[in-house]
């Protein structure tokens, strides 16, 4: 049996159900590449008195030995956030299924629900997109087109930032805003909400004009993970919440 288990957004957000299950499983692996992984799993290893083995993208996608083990024994693959949100893990379930391995998913907290801490109404979000690192001869823009399509439908856009674990690269808001500015020739984007390390002790929610936020260096935003939201026209309740609870960087504080 293969169990895909969500760790949630920070330490100790794993469900009690999943924790109890892990006490009975000896093959425990960790996906290290779909998110910036900064929380300590020692507490989990110590509480279970078991080892959690890290797996790289290659171990999971190209050479999934853990699936061979799952043919004979129970295997748990731990994933940050919810295991099926914004990751490629439905593919693992399909591959396991084709090998005749039974699977079960244990869900957990995710950036998709935690984003509601911005006060933006969750049902007003349109399609999510990711901002990838530009490459030598390729400057991706599909996330920008998604943002504009959502804006035209008066929907918010959640923009996830690129994670290139193999190269130890985790996009910061400064890089993301610079990329957005390059594409936004017609000044369609006015406001941005930056959500950093949500569910961690040092979480931050920043709301401001893109021009104002672009002035800050990456150090201002602190360590990853970060997500950007390009809001649609704000409902008065959303605006009141943001203006009351976020850090604000706007030209006119009355806006
Ligand atoms: C590939 S997605 C994985 C999402 C994860 N499975 C989940 O359910 O939350 C990784 C991206 O989600 C966003 N993210 C994840 N955790 C976050 C957090 N605690 N605060 C802000 N953004 C986060 C970042 O943009 C990060 O690059």
pLDDT single digits (tens) 94-145: 999 999 999 999 999 999 999 999 999 999 999 999 999 998 888 999 999 9
Other beta carbons less than 10 A from residue 223's beta carbon: 15
Beta carbons within 8 Å of 156's beta carbon, 6+ residues apart: 120, 124, 125, 126, 150, 229, 230, 231, 232
Cα pseudo-dihedral 183, 184, 186, 189, rounded to 10? 160
Same fold? 2-109, 112-249: no
Higher pLDDT, 4 or 168: 4
pLDDT value for 57:
87
Q: Is 146 in the pocket of ligand 1 (CB under 6 A)?
A: no
Average pLDDT, the chain: 94
The pTM assigned to this predicted structure is 0.94
Question: Ligand 1, atom 17: nearest CA belongs to which residue?
Answer: 225
Is 156 annotated as ligand-binding? no
Higher pLDDT, 221 or 87: 221
- How far apart, in whole angstroms, are the C-alpha atoms of residue 246 and residue 221? 14
Q: CB of 50 within 8 A of CB of 26?
A: yes
What is the fold, at CATH topology level, of the domain defined by 112-249? Answer: 3.30.950
Ligand 1 atom, smallest distance to 9 CA: 19
Tell me the best of 89, 130, 172, 227 to mutate to test the pocket of ligand 1, counting ligand atoms within 8 Å of each CB and taking the most.
Answer: 227
pLDDT in tens, 153-209: 999 999 999 998 888 899 999 999 999 999 999 999 999 999 999 999 999 999 999
Average pLDDT over residues 84-90: 86
Is 9 annotated as ligand-binding? yes
What is the fold, at CATH topology level, of the domain defined by 2-109? Answer: Cobalt-precorrin-4 Transmethylase; domain 1 (3.40.1010)
Tell me the best of 35, 116, 179 to mutate to test the pocket of ligand 1, counting ligand atoms within 8 Å of each CB and taking the most.
Answer: 35
pLDDT value for 254:
43
Q: Phi and psi (nearest 5°) for 176?
A: -65, -45
Q: CB of 23 within 8 A of CB of 3?
A: no
pLDDT value for 36:
80
What is the residue extent of each domain of the chain? 2-109, 112-249
Q: Phi and psi (nearest 5°) for 39?
A: -100, 145
Is the pLDDT at 219 greater than 60, yes or no? yes
């Amino acid at each position: 049996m293969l169990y895909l288990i969500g760790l949630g957004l920070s330490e100790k957000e794993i469900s009690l159900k999943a924790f109890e299950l892990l006490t009975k499983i000896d093959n425990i692996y960790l996906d290290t590449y779909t998110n910036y992984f900064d929380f300590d799993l020692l507490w989990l290893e110590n509480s279970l008195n078991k080892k959690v083995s890290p797996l790289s993208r290659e171990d999971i996608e190209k050479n999934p030995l853990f699936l061979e083990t799952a043919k004979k024994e129970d295997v748990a693959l731990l994933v940050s956030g919810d295991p099926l949100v914004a990751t490629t893990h439905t593919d693992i379930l399909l591959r396991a299924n084709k090998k005749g391995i039974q699977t079960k998913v244990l869900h957990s907290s995710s950036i998709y629900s935690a984003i509601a801490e911005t006060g933006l109404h969750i049902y007003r979000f349109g399609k999510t997109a990711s901002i990838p690192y530009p490459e030598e001869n390729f400057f991706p823009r599909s996330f920008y087109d998604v943002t504009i399509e959502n804006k035209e439908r008066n929907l918010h856009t959640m923009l996830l930032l690129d994670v290139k674990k193999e190269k130890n690269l985790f996009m910061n808001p400064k890089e993301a805003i610079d990329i957005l500015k390059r594409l936004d020739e017609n000044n369609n984007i006015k406001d941005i909400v930056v959500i950093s390390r949500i569910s961690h002790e040092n979480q931050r929610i920043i709301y401001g004009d893109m021009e104002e936020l672009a002035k800050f260096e990456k150090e201002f935003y602190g360590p990853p993970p970060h997500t950007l939201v390009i809001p649609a026209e704000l409902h008065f309740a959303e605006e009141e919440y943001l203006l009351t609870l976020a850090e604000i960087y706007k030209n006119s504080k009355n806006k």
